[in-house]
Structures are given as structure tokens and as C-alpha cells.
Amino acid sequence: MGTTYDQLSLDERCEIYRLHAGGKSRRAIARALNRAPSTICRELARNSGTQVGYKVEWAMIQARARRRRKLYRLERSSALREVVLDGLAMGWSPEQIAGRLELEQGRRVISHESIYRYVYWRVSSHKDYLHRLLPRAKFLRGWRGRKGGSSVHFIPDRVPVAERPAVVADRRQPGHWEADLMLFSRYRQAVLVAHERSSRLILLSHHTSKAAVPIADSLIAMLRRLPAEQRRSITFDNGSEFAAHRRLKATLRMNTYFCDPHSPWQKGGVENAIGRMRRPLPRKTNLATLTQADLDDLAMEFNLTPRKCLGYRTPLEAFLQQPLDLGVALEM
């Protein structure tokens, strides 16, 4: 049988204690356990005190401590740690950080689980607050309530989502959008969110009214600067704020579609985007303190965050169909 290099078990450490206490040499102990002499030498050197000699309990405690330290590669590599902490500070999830590093390095650099373990180890051992930079472990937005009931019968020329072409559903063709309002606690404050289904790119616009015409005109202003192939259709829910959708058809020649009543999952992309934007823009936010430039900056931050569904490209890279230098490459 060949020499093994697995970690020493409790039984093996007990046998080392018995043989060492009985005066056996380190080579004899190694032969008895089918271990390399260097393994026995290292074990006795690490876990023997000057007063009490080799102690099994102390050896096990020290071995566990060494294994924990080895788990945290981020503690050993300052360059990698800096990249990961910068990513967390920018609002990226551990999965997005790990995936983007793999995309840029062409190999796996670190797993997202290792980042999570390191963060919670830092919380318990250093009493810091790294966990506050993490996204929620489970994405549960809860029930948001209805927006004053369905307006199906009050939306002129409404085309149901069931009549939307299949090419829209599979997300392969660019230019198909979803839109919704992100509401806040303060009266008459909302952010209009437009979400491109293929790239996951978002655009944001500040509103103090849910009136249909201003909402439609805002969407026109957001989308008209894009080429026609980047604005083919848009999907809404049945809120009265989208009742002026015909203005988009007339001005931008975009097809408009509407979800079934109380079926927000039929425009799940913009729903997901709103959930993600709740982190920098919680419901209690006073939008009067933010300018449109502030919202543009938040949208750009979102659009420069790698997404797993895009192979860890960013929405902006997917939208432009070209890679960007995000400054997260490692010199290793």
C-alpha cells in the first residue's frame, strides 16, 4: 500500500500520542500508520508543548483552525481581496464578482461560495459589517398590492401579451422593452423604469405624476434617440398610466402589448430590475432630493454590473455588443 497524504484523523492522532508516549521513534510511528515520516515530524512539531508534550485535543483544535485559515484565500491574497471588496462596494453580488473574474481571466479565480464564507467569517471574527454589502440571500419582494385595479377596459387599442410574437419572448432579438413605475412612500413620487429584454439594460426617469400622457412622452424621450432596431416593441401592465400608449406607436412606430390582469410575471424583466433598484432606492426615499442626473448615474451603475444570465457580461456590453474594460482584472 502506498503512502497517503490525507489529513490525519482523530484515531491516527490518538495512535501518534500512544506510540510517542511509549518512546517510539518518528519513523516507527510513520511506518505503523503508513504515513510519511515528514508528516509525523510536522504533526509533533506543530502540536507539542514544552511542558505537556503532544496533546490530541490541542492537535485537533489547531488542525481545524489551520483548515479555516486555508479556506479564506481572500485573507492571503491582498490583490484578490481588493478586487472582491471593490465589487461588493459597487453593489455586485459574490456570484457576479466571481463570474466576471472568470470571464476576464479565462479561468475560475474564486467561487462565489468562497466570497460568502469569507464575508461571514469576517463578520464573526472581526466584528465588521461586510455582510451589509451583500444582496439579500433570497429574492422575496413580497406582495406589492394592486395599482388601483385593472384598467383593461379603459385602455384603447389594447393588444394582449398573448398576441406578442414569439421572437419577443425568447429574448434573442434586441429592441423589445418592458416598462413600469417604481412607486415610493411619499405621495406623487415615482420612477419610470424601461427595461430592454435582450440585454437587460435599463433607463430611469423621475416623475411626480402618474398621468398617462406625461408617462408616454417620457418614454418617447427616452427611446427616440435609439435606432429603430433597438426600439421595436414595449410591454406594459394594465395601469392607467400607460393608457396613452398609442403615442409611442404614432411617434416611434413601436408595437405595444399589455399583460393579462394581475400577471406581473409576464413582464418579469422590469419587475426584477425594480427589485434590484430597491437597494439604492428603498421605498422611503424622498425623490425630491435626487436629480435626473442622479437617476442616470444609478442606471449606469446597474448597466455596468455583470449578470449571470448574460454570461457575466454587463447589460451595457450586451446592448452595445462589445466588451468594456471595467477595471476588475487581476495581476496574478
Q: Is residue 143 part of a domain?
A: no
The tally of domains found in the chain comes to: 3
**Average pLDDT score over residue span 267-295:** 92
Rounded CA-CA distance 237/160 in Å is 10
Do 105 and 181 sit in the same domain of this protein? no
Do 79 and 53 sit in the same domain of this protein? no
Return the residue matching grid coordinates 482584472: 329
Q: Tell me the chain's radius of gyration from C-alpha atoms.
A: 29
Do 167 and 266 sit in the same domain of this protein? yes
Do 275 and 190 sit in the same domain of this protein? yes
Assess contact for 306 and 92: CB atoms under 8 A: yes
Do 93 and 65 sit in the same domain of this protein? no
Rounded CA-CA distance 205/211 in Å is 14
Q: Could you give the residue ranges of the DSSP H alpha helices within 189-286?
A: 212-223, 246-252, 268-277
**Average pLDDT score over residue span 303-324:** 90
Q: Is residue 332 part of a domain?
A: no
Do 165 and 274 sit in the same domain of this protein? yes
Beta strand 233-236 with 255-258 is parallel
DSSP per residue over 249-276, as a string?
Answer: HHHH--EEEEPPTT-GGGGHHHHHHHHH
% of the chain residues with pLDDT over 90? 41
pLDDT exceeds cutoff 60 at 4: no
Q: Is residue 1 part of a domain?
A: no
Q: Is residue 311 part of a domain?
A: no
Rounded CA-CA distance 158/175 in Å is 20
pLDDT exceeds cutoff 60 at 159: yes
Do 161 and 257 sit in the same domain of this protein? yes
Q: Can you list the positions of beta strands (E) in the chain?
A: 48-49, 53-54, 176-183, 190-196, 202-207, 233-236, 255-258
Q: Using pLDDT thresholds of 50, 70 and 90, give the confidence band for residue 125.
A: low
Do 83 and 170 sit in the same domain of this protein? no
Domain termination site, one of 31, 49, 71: 71
pLDDT exceeds cutoff 90 at 194: yes
pTM exceeds 0.75 for this model: no
pLDDT exceeds cutoff 60 at 139: no
25-63 pLDDT, tens digit each? 889 988 998 998 888 888 888 777 655 577 666 667 666
Q: Using pLDDT thresholds of 50, 70 and 90, give the confidence band for residue 229.
A: very high
Q: Is residue 283 part of a domain?
A: yes
Do 80 and 66 sit in the same domain of this protein? no
Select the highest-mean-pLDDT range: 80-84, 174-178, 265-269. 174-178
Do 182 and 199 sit in the same domain of this protein? yes
Assess contact for 131 and 150: CB atoms under 8 A: no
pLDDT exceeds cutoff 80 at 320: yes
**Average pLDDT score over residue span 281-309:** 93
Q: Is residue 65 part of a domain?
A: yes
How is residue 281 annotated by DSSP?
Answer: S
More confident residue, 47 or 227: 227
User: What is the average pLDDT score of the chain?
Assistant: 83
Q: What is the pLDDT of residue 242?
A: 94
Beta strand 233-236 with 202-207 is unpaired
Q: Is residue 296 part of a domain?
A: no
Do 280 and 180 sit in the same domain of this protein? yes
Q: Using pLDDT thresholds of 50, 70 and 90, give the confidence band for residue 150.
A: low
Return the C-alpha cell found at 71. Answer: 479556506
Q: What angle do CA 194, 99, 141 make, to 5 degrees?
A: 45
Do 17 and 96 sit in the same domain of this protein? no
Residue 82's domain comprises: 73-133
